[in-house]
């Protein structure tokens, strides 16, 4: 059944092509020969690309593309853009057909009462052209998001009020980054731009909140030298995200070997953290002393409310030893941890830093509107949120996963300033 389903979907898609083809024909049927041929050839080329990608994926299986990350990225971008073109186009045409069907039903109903009602049932050229334009907009947007926005890093500023904040901590420059997903990154030179932006801030502390790879530790290798260049006066601290455990990669068919490989992969990942000079906090803490005051950096392994993500974080264990610290900052990859446990049981943790959502890599952020589909899955999904005296900042991610781009939600470097509440 699992093998039949993709083929059924493919057949339905192919049948729908006739429907779309007729609408394209209507839209440009009276145009010049050159314009008509150009339109049909363009559409046919896009369709060939679309179905070629589907065919290769069905034959090779998910993750079976033995080619460069760049080609995979282009394939995903084109597939998504062309799919949305077809979806928008056919939706508008189908809406017109519903209206045309309604007119036909009304005419038949009127004939029962010996009334002659005349309608024009032909497809409107204007509607077909409008549908084609509507479909082209998401295609162009998706391509632009990949070509222009994938590495268009943006510094977001956040001021976090903390009660009884020592004066010395008001001067701290804190930078947060998250969700590098080096397995999806193509160019080390692009990541270097982000590192340069971080170093321009001259941070005292840099925090990384998980998902440095997609699945395999070796994904980090091309980026080691670049990441070693991050400069922070008091250190760079990191935690693991759900992708860092290697669960999204099939190492071996045999279960026992698979467990060994997952463990070996995780150890390699930890070694890479050391190699680039980051201190990985696995259910532990690090206390920073400035004068007579102490700031606790608490780091937990991935903890999630959602069952399909690994939940290995142990905040009780990580908290031990920092009870008397005047300021406490928690690094926890998944933002569901904050509402589910942190604000319930650890009311003295001032600030939690998370990532994970990527802001869905798609949304709207303008002064009067902040929206993304991910908000329906995560209550805290991007930016600063406050509950009483406690805060969480959810980083939008600096990398990307799946679709190699950003639409409306830019890759983020966060500069955090602690202020007196």
Q: Can you give the pLDDT at residue 335?
A: 98
**By mean pLDDT, which of 13-27, 325-339, 377-391 is the weakest?**
13-27
Tens of pLDDT, residue by residue over 175-220, are 999 999 999 998 899 999 999 999 999 999 999 999 999 999 999 9
Tens of pLDDT, residue by residue over 54-110, are 777 666 654 445 556 778 888 888 888 888 888 887 788 777 778 777 777 777 777
CA distance 176 to 293: 22
Instruction: Give the angle subtended at the CA of 40 by the CAs of 35 and 44, to the nearest 5°.
Output: 150
Nearest-Å Rg of the Cα atoms of the chain is: 27
In this model, does residue 380 exceed pLDDT 50?
A: yes
Distances (CA, A) of 7 to 1, 10, 193, 361, 393: 10, 5, 44, 30, 44
CB 193 within 8 A of CB 151: yes
Tens of pLDDT, residue by residue over 273-299, are 999 999 999 999 999 998 889 999 999
In this model, does residue 155 exceed pLDDT 90?
A: yes
**What integer is the mean pLDDT of 366-390?**
95
Nearest to 177 by CA among 414, 418, 420: 414
Q: Can you give the pLDDT at residue 388?
A: 93
Nearest to 327 by CA among 201, 179, 198, 205: 205
Cα within 13 Å of Cα(245), Cβ side: 15
Alpha carbon 230 to its chain centroid, in Å, reads 23
* 113-119 LR contacts (CB < 8 Å, sep 24+): none
**Domain extent listing, the chain:** 4-147, 154-420
Dihedral through CA 368, CA 372, CA 373, CA 374, nearest 10? Answer: -120
**By mean pLDDT, which of 23-37, 43-57, 182-196 is the weakest?**
23-37
* Strand blocks (E) in 137-228: 154-162, 174-177, 205-209
**By mean pLDDT, which of 89-93, 154-158, 307-311 is the weakest?**
89-93
Mean of all residue pLDDT scores within the chain: 87
CB 258 within 8 A of CB 372: no
The pTM (predicted TM-score) of the whole model is 0.88
Cα within 13 Å of Cα(186), Cβ side: 16
Q: Which stretch, 44-53, 70-79, 161-170, has highest mean pLDDT? A: 161-170
Superfamily of domain 154-420: Metallo-dependent phosphatases (3.60.21.10)
Estimate the crossing angle of helix 33-60 against helix 4-28, to 10 degrees. Answer: 170
**What integer is the mean pLDDT of 326-330?**
97
CA distance 139 to 146: 11
Q: What is the DSSP string of 50-65?
A: HHHHHHHHHHH-TT--
DSSP 139: H
In this model, does residue 1 exceed pLDDT 50?
A: no
């Amino acid at each position: 059944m699992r093998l039949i389903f993709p083929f059924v979907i493919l057949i339905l898609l192919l049948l729908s092509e006739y429907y779309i083809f007729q609408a394209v024909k209507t839209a440009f049927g009276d145009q010049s020969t050159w314009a008509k041929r150009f339109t049909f050839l363009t559409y046919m080329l896009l369709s060939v690309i679309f179905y070629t990608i589907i065919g290769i994926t069905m034959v090779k299986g998910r993750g079976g593309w033995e080619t460069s990350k760049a080609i995979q990225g282009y394939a995903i971008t084109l597939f998504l853009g062309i799919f949305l073109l077809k979806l928008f186009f056919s939706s508008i045409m189908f809406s017109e057909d519903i209206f045309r069907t309604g007119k036909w039903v009304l005419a038949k109903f009127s004939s029962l009462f010996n009334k002659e009602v005349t309608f024009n049932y032909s497809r409107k050229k204007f509607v077909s052209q409008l549908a084609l334009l509507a479909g082209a907009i998401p295609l162009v947007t998706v391509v632009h998001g990949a070509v222009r926005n994938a590495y268009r890093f943006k510094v977001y500023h956040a001021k976090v009020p903390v009660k009884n904040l020592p004066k010395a901590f008001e001067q701290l420059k804190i930078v947060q980054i998250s969700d590098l997903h080096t397995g999806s990154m193509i160019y080390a030179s692009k990541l270097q731009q982000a590192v340069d932006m971080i170093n321009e801030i001259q941070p005292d502390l840099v925090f990384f909140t998980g998902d440095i790879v997609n699945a395999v530790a070796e994904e980090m290798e091309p980026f080691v030298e670049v990441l070693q260049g991050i400069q922070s006066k008091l250190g760079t601290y990191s935690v693991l995200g759900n992708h860092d455990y290697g669960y999204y990669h099939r190492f071996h068919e045999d279960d026992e070997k698979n467990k060994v490989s997952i463990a070996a992969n995780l150890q390699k990942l930890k070694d890479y953290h050391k190699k680039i000079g980051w201190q990985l906090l696995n259910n532990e803490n690090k206390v920073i002393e400035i004068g007579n005051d102490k700031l606790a950096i608490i780091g937990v392994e991935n903890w999630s409310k959602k069952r399909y993500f690994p939940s290995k974080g142990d905040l009780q264990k990580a908290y031990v030893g920092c009870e008397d610290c005047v300021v406490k900052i928690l690094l926890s990859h998944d933002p569901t941890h904050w509402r589910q446990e942190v604000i319930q049981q650890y009311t003295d943790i001032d600030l939690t830093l998370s990532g994970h959502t990527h802001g869905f890599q798609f949304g709207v952020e303008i002064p009067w509107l902040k929206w993304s589909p991910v908000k329906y899955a995560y209550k805290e999904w991007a930016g600063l949120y406050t509950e009483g005296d406690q805060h969480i900042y959810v980083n939008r991610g600096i990398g990307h996963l799946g679709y190699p781009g950003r639409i409306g939600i830019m890759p983020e470097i966060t500069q955090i300033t602690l202020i007196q509440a």
